[in-house]
């Protein structure tokens, strides 16, 4: 047979909060009714006071709902209920009015507890506990002692004090003075602890405390200024009173904001744990860690043991910052291996447990991202090596072109001149057969020179190096045995590898057109805009070219030349496409980034 639940088991923290909210609402409504009947309270003060009290009840309920384990929500509700309980003394009913005399300082004890326990909901030191105990004793003990000697029948429209033992106004006033003195001492102690907490708080904690501190300081300043003015007839008194009431209404919202900020910070850590099983990019993981730690400037460096350096998510090398007042480094290890490092705001060092928890929770994800970053670094190195290979090949092409021009071609020119001189000297002295042989030799040298010049141009045209891409393409178009139209906007001198690649794309496309396309017109369009070079070759041939076929020499096939060019463009982060529907011509289009124009 199950055991019956005890009353204590039923009285959960949530039920206590709801009961306190219900009691506070009842007290608030009753206090408003009593004040309206009394008729001695200003309407504005009644409305603003009631608004502040109800806001404490509502904000406390919300804070408890969002963070049930934190007592801040309950304390906020008790402050609101205590504030309304203080108005019971205005009632015309003797029992209720007498209860109001006992609760005339009820909110002050709860307020002191709330201030010292915020934002964790716990009192963390002996001094705090002593101050709170003194605040409760002062708020509920001394008013009870004063009520024993306070005869309310001396007041106009008085209501009997049911606790009256003896009419002794001196004792009642002495109790009130003691209460005020102890209350002031407690207030000073609370203020000192709050100032100390602010001075020693980390940046995230100050971010939580700021709304309460700012609102409280404004309200306190308005109270002090009103006390200095000291008269309800002074023109500034009403202004200070309004500032106080507005600050009082905003104070529960400030507490709620602080509670939610603490919860959101911890929720961010929870979100981190909840999202670590999802596939995250390096940027997503960095953003998630930044939100978890409350540091938008957070950066992640992934350890690369091969080079002994840190790299970012894209594989780029990072310089390890100095661990000083400007930047701090938190190492991340997994299974005894260095995985990464968090480059963060030095203020986070004040909460090392939080940093360690976040780093430990994200260790596996950081290790995975380290591997991805290392792959990116390797790809970057491969891409850089391909660029270097392309540059080296272009340099070798230019060297061969110069060697052919300055070496073999010049020797052929000299041999041709010598042969012509020999023809002139032997003119008329040899037979016709010898003369014909000399003429054929001279013509052969001429053809060899032309073929050598064509070979040099194919390897790397000198005009490309000397004048640039557009003049080289113009020369290419003029030498073609069909109608080639060149359209080129203003193209600046670009990096040698870019200019050479653009030229070879046009040359290879034109060669394929001559061999396979059966075209009679070709258009070459060159454009440089937004950091990109576009080279487009269009013919009106039979189409059907296929860059992926990989076989040359058959009609309708782009051949291996464009395949090689596609690889060359990929090394420079460019793209090459071929659009060649059967019977509708061919369009070869290349795009190249030009971030480093000369």
* Best CA proximity match to 210, nearest among 124, 344, 119, 295: 119
Collapsed DSSP state (helix, strand, coil) of residue 542: coil
CB-CB contact of 245 with 222 (8 Å): no
Asked whether residue 285 carries a pLDDT value surpassing 90, the answer given is: no
Percent of the chain with pLDDT over 70: 70
More confident residue, 550 or 454: 454
CB-CB contact of 559 with 548 (8 Å): no
Q: What is the pLDDT of residue 175?
A: 79
Q: Residue 319 falls within a domain, yes or no?
A: yes
Confidence of residue 371 (pLDDT cuts 50, 70, 90): low
| Sheet containing strand 521-529, strands side by side | 483-488, 521-529, 532-539, 586-593, 575-579
Asked whether residue 525 carries a pLDDT value surpassing 90, the answer given is: yes
Gap between the Cα atoms of 193 and 182, Å rounded: 17
Question: Same domain for 30 and 138?
Answer: yes
Domain that holds residue 120: 7-199
Q: What is the DSSP letter of 322?
A: P
Question: Same domain for 16 and 135?
Answer: yes
Asked whether residue 551 carries a pLDDT value surpassing 50, the answer given is: no
pLDDT tens sequence across 200-258: 765 666 777 788 888 877 766 766 666 666 555 566 767 777 777 787 788 888 877 77
Q: Are strands 521-529 and 483-488 parallel, antiparallel or unpaired?
A: parallel
Q: Residue 266 falls within a domain, yes or no?
A: no
Gap between the Cα atoms of 227 and 289, Å rounded: 49
336: left (phi over 0), alpha (psi -120 to 50) or beta: left
In this structure, what CATH number is given to the domain that contains residue 482? 3.30.565.10
* Best CA proximity match to 77, nearest among 98, 97, 102, 55: 55
User: How confident is the model over 126-150, as a mean pLDDT?
Assistant: 85
Question: Same domain for 489 and 584?
Answer: yes
Question: Same domain for 20 and 145?
Answer: yes
Q: Which of 170, 199, 228 is the last residue of a domain?
A: 199
Q: Residue 461 falls within a domain, yes or no?
A: no
Q: What is the pLDDT of residue 133?
A: 92
Question: Same domain for 188 and 63?
Answer: yes
Q: Residue 562 falls within a domain, yes or no?
A: yes
Question: Same domain for 178 and 297?
Answer: no
Q: Which of 381, 411, 443 is the last residue of a domain?
A: 381
**282-293 vs 363-403: helix crossing angle, rounded to 10:** 140
Q: What is the DSSP letter of 593?
A: E
Q: What is the pLDDT of residue 302?
A: 78
Q: Residue 374 falls within a domain, yes or no?
A: yes
Q: Cα Rg for the chain, rounded, in angstroms?
A: 45
Question: Same domain for 174 and 318?
Answer: no
* Residues in Cβ contact with 316 at an 8 Å cutoff, skipping those fewer than 6 apart: 377, 380
pTM (2 decimals)? 0.49
Q: Residue 448 falls within a domain, yes or no?
A: no
Quickly list DSSP for 425-444.
HHTTTS-HHHHHHHHHHHHH
Question: Same domain for 24 and 163?
Answer: yes
Percent of the chain with pLDDT over 90: 3
CB atoms within 10 A of CB 87: 25
What mean pLDDT, rounded, does the chain reach? Answer: 75
User: How many separate domains does the chain show?
Assistant: 3
Q: What is the pLDDT of residue 550?
A: 43
Quick one: three-class SS letters along 366-405? HHHHHHHHHHHHHHHHHHHHHHHHHHHHHHHHHHHHHHHH
Q: Residue 409 falls within a domain, yes or no?
A: no
Collapsed DSSP state (helix, strand, coil) of residue 551: coil
More confident residue, 132 or 198: 132
pLDDT tens sequence across 81-96: 888 888 888 888 888 8
pLDDT tens sequence across 400-436: 656 555 556 666 666 777 777 777 777 767 677 777 7
Collapsed DSSP state (helix, strand, coil) of residue 342: strand
Q: What is the pLDDT of residue 130?
A: 92
Q: Which of 133-142, 302-311, 371-380, 530-539 has the lowest mean pLDDT?
A: 371-380
Q: What is the pLDDT of residue 598?
A: 47
Confidence of residue 351 (pLDDT cuts 50, 70, 90): low
Asked whether residue 1 carries a pLDDT value surpassing 50, the answer given is: no
Q: Residue 362 falls within a domain, yes or no?
A: yes
User: How confident is the model over 501-509, as a mean pLDDT?
Assistant: 86
Take residue 413 and report the two structure tokens written for it.
């020119």
Question: Same domain for 176 and 52?
Answer: yes
pLDDT tens sequence across 304-322: 777 777 777 766 777 766 6
Q: What is the pLDDT of residue 553?
A: 35
Q: Which of 349, 381, 413 is the last residue of a domain?
A: 381
* Residues in Cβ contact with 193 at an 8 Å cutoff, skipping those fewer than 6 apart: 116, 127, 128, 131
Asked whether residue 131 carries a pLDDT value surpassing 80, the answer given is: yes
Residue 343: C-alpha distances to residues 302, 360, 425, 484, 523 (Å):
11, 15, 86, 58, 54
């Amino acid at each position: 047979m199950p055991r019956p639940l005890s009353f204590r088991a039923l009285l959960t923290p949530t039920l206590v909060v709801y009961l306190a909210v219900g009691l506070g609402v009842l007290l608030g409504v009753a206090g408003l009714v009593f004040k309206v009947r009394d008729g001695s309270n200003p309407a504005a003060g009644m409305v603003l006071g009631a608004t502040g009290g109800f806001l404490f009840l509502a904000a406390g309920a919300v804070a408890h709902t969002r963070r049930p384990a934190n007592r801040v929500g309950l304390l906020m509700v008790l402050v609101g209920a205590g504030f309304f309980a203080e108005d019971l003394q205005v009632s015309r009913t003797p029992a209720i009015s007498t209860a109001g005399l006992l609760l005339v300082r009820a909110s002050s004890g709860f307020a002191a507890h709330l201030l010292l326990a915020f934002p964790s909901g716990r009192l963390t030191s002996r001094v705090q506990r002593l101050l709170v105990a003194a605040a409760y004793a002062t708020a509920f003990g001394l008013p009870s002692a004063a009520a024993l000697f306070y005869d309310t029948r001396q007041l106009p429209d008085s209501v009997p004090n049911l606790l009256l033992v003896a009419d002794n106004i001196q004792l009642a006033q002495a109790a009130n003075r003691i209460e005020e003195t102890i209350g002031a001492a407690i207030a000073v102690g609370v203020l000192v602890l709050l100032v100390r907490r602010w001075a020693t708080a980390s940046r995230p904690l100050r971010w939580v405390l700021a709304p309460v501190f700012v609102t409280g300081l404004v309200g306190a300043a308005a109270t002090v200024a009103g006390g200095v003015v000291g008269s309800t007839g002074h023109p500034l008194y009403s202004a200070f009173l309004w500032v106080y009431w507005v600050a009082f209404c905003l104070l529960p919202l400030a507490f709620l904001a602080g509670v939610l900020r603490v919860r959101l910070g911890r929720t961010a850590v929870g979100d981190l744990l909840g999202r670590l099983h999802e596939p995250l990019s390096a940027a997503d993981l960095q953003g998630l860690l930044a939100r978890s730690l409350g540091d938008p400037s957070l950066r992640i460096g992934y350890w690369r043991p091969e080079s002994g350096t840190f790299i970012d998510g894209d594989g780029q090398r990072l310089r390890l910052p100095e661990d000083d007042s400007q930047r701090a480094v938190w190492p991340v290890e997994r299974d005894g291996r260095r995985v990464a490092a968090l480059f963060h705001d030095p203020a986070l060092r004040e909460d090392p447990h939080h940093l360690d928890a976040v780093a430990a929770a994200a260790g596996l994800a950081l290790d995975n991202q380290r591997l991805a970053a290392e792959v990116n670094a390797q790809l970057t190195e491969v891409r850089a090596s391909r660029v270097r290979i392309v540059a080296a090949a272009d340099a070798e092409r230019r060297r061969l072109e110069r060697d052919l021009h300055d070496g073999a071609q010049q020797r052929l020119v000299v041999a041709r001149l010598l042969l012509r001189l020999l023809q002139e000297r032997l003119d008329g002295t040899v037979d016709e057969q010898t003369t014909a042989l000399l003429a054929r030799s001279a013509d052969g040298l001429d053809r060899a020179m032309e073929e050598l010049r064509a070979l040099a141009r194919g390897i790397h045209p000198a005009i490309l190096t000397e004048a640039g891409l557009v003049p080289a393409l113009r020369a290419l178009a003029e030498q073609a045995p069909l109608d080639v139209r060149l359209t080129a906007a203003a193209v600046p001198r670009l990096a040698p590898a870019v200019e050479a690649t653009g030229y070879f794309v046009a040359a290879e496309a034109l060669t394929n057109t001559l061999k396979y396309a059966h075209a009679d017109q070709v258009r070459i369009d060159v454009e440089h805009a937004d950091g990109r070079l576009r080279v487009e070759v269009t013919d009106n041939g039979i189409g059907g070219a296929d860059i992926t076929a990989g076989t040359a020499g058959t009609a309708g096939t782009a051949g291996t030349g464009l395949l090689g060019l596609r690889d060359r463009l990929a090394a420079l982060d460019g793209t090459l496409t071929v659009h060649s529907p059967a019977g509708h011509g061919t369009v070869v289009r290349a795009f190249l980034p030009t971030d480093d124009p000369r």
